[in-house]
Amino acid sequence: MILIIESFPYTVSLLGGDDFLELLRKYLARFVYTDTLPFDARVLNMICLVGFFSAVISFFLHAIEQSNLFTMGIKVAMVVSIVLLIVISNRFNLHTQGKWVTVTGFCFIFFPLIFLQNGGLHSGISAYFVLSMSVIFLLMTGKTRIVLLALFIITTFICYYVDMVHPQYIYPLSDRQQYIDSAGAYLITGFFIGPVSVMLRKLYMLEEKKADAASSAKGDFLAQMSHEMRTPMNAIIGTAAISKSATDLEEYRSYMLRIEDASKHLLGVINDILDMSKIEAGKLELLEEPFVFGDMVASVVGIHRFRLDEKHHHLEVHIDKRIPRVFYGDRQRLAQIIANLLSNAVKFTPDEGSITISATLLDNWEAPEDENIVPVSDETCIILIDITDTGIGISEEQQSRLFRSFEQANNSTSREYGGTGLGLAISQRIARAMGGDVTVESRLGEGSCFSVIVRLRPAADDVLPVSHESDEQRARKDMTGLFANRTALLVDDLKINCEIAAALLEPTGLDLIFASNGQEAVEAFAAEPDAFDLILMDIQMPGMDGYEATRRIRKMDNPHARRVPIIAMTANVFKEDVDKSLESGMDAHLGKPLNIDEVVKTIQDALDKQGG
């Protein structure tokens, strides 16, 4: 008899093998294998579920005996509290609290009560002891686990002490009751430890597989990125090499255009990677500036006009008349989403196809549940922008993977058409940061429709800057001779960078004096502070870097040193880099590669600010 009882845990452990697991998984998978719950929560659910069945079994065992109504009451209370625990912790996301309730309930309430009510040392208490220890081990980690184990062992000792010194507090069991209680205890423990260990192993394997998949996706992604960057790089280096032997200017020009194209493509790839890493690190920041919605759409279309004409695409643009003219928001990021989708539509639609962009004002929109969708205030308009094409379409299987970062829809398409596979992931994350989403409907061979939803705060017309010209137009129009009679100190360790900046700025008439590191810059400025109207400062340089040089210049005992505009001109383009430049005392930040319009505008603003 004893042997049978003792072997219960093992029997149930064996039962807890695959067949039993299948059964459990089928009905209980929702609680345990679901990805939407954190790992901890799934372990908690699993323990609670097994605890639930164990309590039911033990209730029936005691019902057979019918000797101890109090113990039966405890079991009923256990069943009810376990059910409540699962429901409450899942519904209100209280898994951490749930863990504590389970541990406290099992080890510090249930265990002593069972001990006192079931004949103390003469019952199946050793099985309950193992059960309680396992609960602490499974649910707690680190120091908490050690402290709780120690407390539990102290509790056990107190119980044993009571049994030995004050046996009158222990409810005595008959031999028959002892057997039944031991059977119940071992059954419960076996039932608990068997399935839980098997399920835990499966859970760990599942997590491991997920981590493997993530790291292999990252590996594939890096390989793909390397390929994406090498392709334009190859075009640049190769074309530069052949261009050396060009004989006439026209041929030379065509090589240069090819290099420019490849470089722009390369910059696009780098920007995508940068955007994605910003998004992954939760550092995507959106501006809140007024912009004209229609102009934004028109400028995106303008950029793609050449490709559209080249492929003889028929393009239609509809903008709902009810959409307000001006919104507050991040014009550039919204334009980036539309540009991504439009360039995909152009890329994946054969010649003579049609593409439609339609923007509609929605009255309401049921946002799907997603942590990345940022809730926005109710005063926003919900704008739906559909970009529909008659292109090659996307299969359902591909659609499910389209928006994942580090994964591409179809490796063979990407090889044929190029692209990083990040565009859609980035677009969707930006749209979600704007309180909306990007979704797709598509049929293979018939075409695709990408729908963007964003929530934007409408603005009155008069919040726009007075000049209706765009910044770029303004910068370009007045560039010639704009900075004549002005002198700038250009600090950069690379000669090629100095040459590029000089060539770009030449039309503006800005006089440049060069310094090749921070130390030289400080010395040049100290020698003749009033000679410089402006400093253009690289950051990473051998010897003294740009931050330090700026700090030293700002500290000089000269009023002009504190006011002279210093603009960072650097390939460090992360927000932290910009913040660091500003902290060191610079006035503005320009990212490399330089965009001449931006350079001119930034210099102009800095000079205006200093003058005003």
Q: Which residues bind ligand ADP (CB under 6 A)?
A: 340, 344-345, 348, 389, 391-394, 402, 408-410, 413-414, 419-424, 448
Between 111 and 450, whose beta carbon lies closer to ligand ADP?
450
Cα dihedral angle (133, 137, 142, 144), rounded to 10 degrees?
-50
Q: For the CB of residue 405, give the shortest distance to ligand ADP in the complex, in Å.
A: 9
Give me the residue whose beta carbon is nearest to ligand ADP. 419
Asked if residues 339 and 429 have their Cβ atoms less than 8 Å apart, the reply is no
Q: Are 482 and 394 in contact (CB under 8 A)?
A: no
* Antiparallel, parallel or unpaired: β 534-537 and 588-591: unpaired
Minimum distance from residue 236 beta carbon to ligand ADP (Å): 20
Of 190 and 419, which has the nearer Cβ to ligand ADP? 419
Report, in Å, the least distance between residue 278 CB and ligand ADP: 16
Q: Work out the burial of residue 85: count CB atoms within 10 Å of its CB; fewer than 13 is exposed, 13-18 middle, 19 or more buried.
A: buried
Least distance from ligand ADP to the Cβ atom of residue 483, Å: 38
* Residue 380 or 405 having the CB closest to ligand ADP: 405
Residue 574: CB atoms within 10 Å: 14
Cis peptide before 9 (omega within 30 of 0): no
CA–CA gap between residue 518 and residue 470 (Å, rounded): 35
- Nearest distance from residue 537's CB to ligand ADP, in Å? 34
How is residue 292 written in tokens? 């004209």
Coil, strand, or helix at residue 17?
coil
User: By C-beta, is 221 or 293 nearer to ligand ADP?
Assistant: 221
Of 197 and 343, CB closest to ligand ADP: 343
When the beta carbons of 104 and 277 are compared against ligand ADP, the nearer one is 277
> How many other β-carbons are positioned within 10 Å of the β-carbon of residue 334?
27
Least spacing, CB of residue 214 vs ligand ADP, in Å: 18
State the nearest-atom distance from the C-beta of 308 to ligand ADP, in Å: 14
Task: Count CB atoms within 10 A of the CB of residue 139.
Answer: 22
Residue in this structure with the two tokens 């396992």, named with its chain if needed:
134
Cα gap 387→447, rounded to integer Å: 11
Q: How far is the CB of 440 from ligand ADP (least distance, A)?
A: 8
What whole-number distance in Å separates Cα of residue 254 and Cα of residue 268? 21
Q: Which is nearer to ligand ADP, 350 or 542 (CB)?
A: 350
How crowded is residue 115: how many other Cβ atoms within 10 Å of its Cβ? 24
- Assess contact for 149 and 133: CB atoms under 8 A: yes
Minimum distance, C-beta of residue 283 to ligand ADP, in the bound complex (Å): 20
Nearer to ligand ADP, 67 or 271 (CB): 271
Rank residues 176 and 307 by Cβ distance to ligand ADP and give the closer one: 307
In the sheet that 487-491 helps form, which strands lie side by side, from edge to edge? 511-515, 487-491, 534-537, 566-570, 588-591
* Least separation in angstroms between CB 209 and ligand ADP: 25
CB-based contacts of 530, cutoff 8 Å, min separation 6: 560
Nearest to 44 by CA among 93, 86, 88: 86
410 or 470: CB nearest ligand ADP: 410
232 versus 421: smaller Cβ distance to ligand ADP: 421
CB of 336 to ligand ADP, least distance (A): 11
Residue 584 burial by Cβ neighbours in a 10 Å radius (0-12, 13-18, 19+): buried
Structure-block tokens of residue 339: 């540009």
Judge whether 529 and 562 are in contact, CB under 8 Å: no
